[in-house]
Amino acid sequence: MTEVKKLKEVTNWLSRGQIDQMYSSEYWNNITDEKNKPWWILDGNYKKLWAYLENSGTLQEFNEGINEINSIKSKNINIADLAAGTGWTSAILSKIDSVSEVHSLEMSEHRISELFAETIKMFDGNPDKIHRYLGSFYETQFKNNYFDIIVLNQAFHHADEPFALLQECKRILKKEGSVFIIGEPYIGFKAYLRKIIATIVKERKLKYKFYDLFETCPEMGDHYYRDSDYRFIFQSAGFECSFKLLKTGNGFYILKNL
């Protein structure tokens, strides 16, 4: 019988008290609420997570990132999966032959410690390549210029300090390395117009300023940006930016470290 390989132990970069002080940590560390989400597969029921990833288009979006990685000719690629959640992205990344290491960082304690291991089994990931960290993506303890690729899947818009996050990415990324920012809400003209009309109907008032219409959700930490805002932030942080509009309607930004 083939022995099932175990994941390496989680490296703790944060204390419980430090986690509690982090932006939106209460939401992401609430186990009671988490048990009602499709990510909760500790009961062995994988169907709800498969259904969510496929029906929401989230898995399809991430596969766009995988296609980009597969197009890279280099071998022994080191990847940082920041805000890795329960680990399904890390599991898929670990199965790519050209990838040698996947360093998965998450600030939700139960996700990185409990749900992660079960998710890796669900996706048949390669535990030998995966390293887990409980920490903040603003202040990692990774070495300078270590990673070829940084992945932020469904994550960048949760950062309340986007410039600080990009500065940290720049520090740990190799020269000519890339940051894949996948699944960002893309608000084009039609979405903007629909929001104006919906606000008039619901609130009986006219709002037309972008940040009056698309307000930050403090509980989950969701922030909304125009495409021009994204590009300004990325370029101001010293990255070259290219963009793909995904079939789901969300955006995929590829940042090149200059």
pLDDT digits (tens, 9 = 90+) for 98-130: 999 999 999 999 999 999 999 999 999 999 999
- Could you tell me the two tokens for 205? 């008032």
Q: Kindly indicate whether the domain formed by 11-185+226-257 is annotated with CATH number 3.40.50.150.
A: yes
- CA–CA gap between residue 172 and residue 184 (Å, rounded): 22
Predicted confidence at residue 1, as pLDDT, reads: 32
Long-range contacts of 142-145 (CB under 8 A, 24+ apart): 142/80, 142/103, 142/172, 143/172, 144/171, 144/172, 145/171, 145/172, 145/173, 145/174, 145/175
**Domain spans in the chain, listed from the N-terminal domain onward:** 11-185+226-257, 188-224
- Position 5 confidence tier, pLDDT thresholds 50, 70, 90: confident
Predicted confidence at residue 135, as pLDDT, reads: 96
> For the residues 174-184, what does the mean pLDDT come to?
96
Predicted confidence at residue 3, as pLDDT, reads: 45
